Structure 1
Amino acid sequence: MTEIRTPRLLLRRWHDDDLAPMADIDADPRVMRWIDDGSVWDEEGFGLFAVELLASGELAGCTGLSVPEFLPQVLPAVAISWRFGPQFWGQGYASEAAHATLEFALQDRGLDRVISISQVGDDASENIMRKLGMEWESETAHPVHGRPLRVHAIDLTEFQA
Structure 2
Amino acid sequence: MNTYIETPRLILRDWKEEDIPVFAGLNSNDQVMEFFLKKLSYQETLDFYNRIRKEFASRGYGLYAVEKKENHAFIGYVGLHDITFDVDFAPAVEIGWRLIPEVWNQGYATEAASACLEYAKKTLGLKELYSFTSLPNKRSERVMQKIGMVKSKEFDHPLVSPDHPLCRHVLYKISLINR
Q: TM-score higher than 0.5 here?
A: yes
The aligned counterpart of 2:99 is 84
Q: Aligned partners of 1:26, 1:4: CA distance in 2, in Å?
A: 23
What residue ranges of structure 2 are gaps of 5+ in the alignment? 41-47
Letter of the structure 1 residue corresponding to residue 116 of structure 2: T
**Bigger-Rg structure (1/2):** 2
- How far did residue 18 of structure 1 move? 0.4
Root mean square deviation of aligned Cα = 1.7
Deviation digits for residues 48-89 of structure 1 (CA, Å, limit 9, x no counterpart)? 100000111111110110111124322121000000011110
In the alignment, structure 1 residue 3 sits paired with structure 2 residue 8: no
Deviation digits for residues 103-131 of structure 1 (CA, Å, limit 9, x no counterpart)? 11111100011010111011111111111
The aligned counterpart of 2:156 is 141
29 and 70 in structure 1: CA distance in 2 versus 1, 3 angstrom threshold? farther
Q: Aligned partners of 2:98, 2:19: CA distance in 1, in Å?
A: 14
Q: Once the two structures are aligned, what percentage of the paired residues are identical?
A: 35
Which residue of 82, 89, 114 corresponds with 1:67? 82
TM-score normalized with structure 1 length: 0.92
Range with bigger deviation, 67-76 or 49-58: 67-76
The aligned counterpart of 2:45 is none
130 and 158 in structure 1: CA distance in 2 versus 1, 3 angstrom threshold? farther
The aligned counterpart of 2:173 is 153
Count of aligned residue pairs for this structure pair: 159
64 and 131 in structure 1: CA distance in 2 versus 1, 3 angstrom threshold? same
122 and 59 in structure 1: CA distance in 2 versus 1, 3 angstrom threshold? same
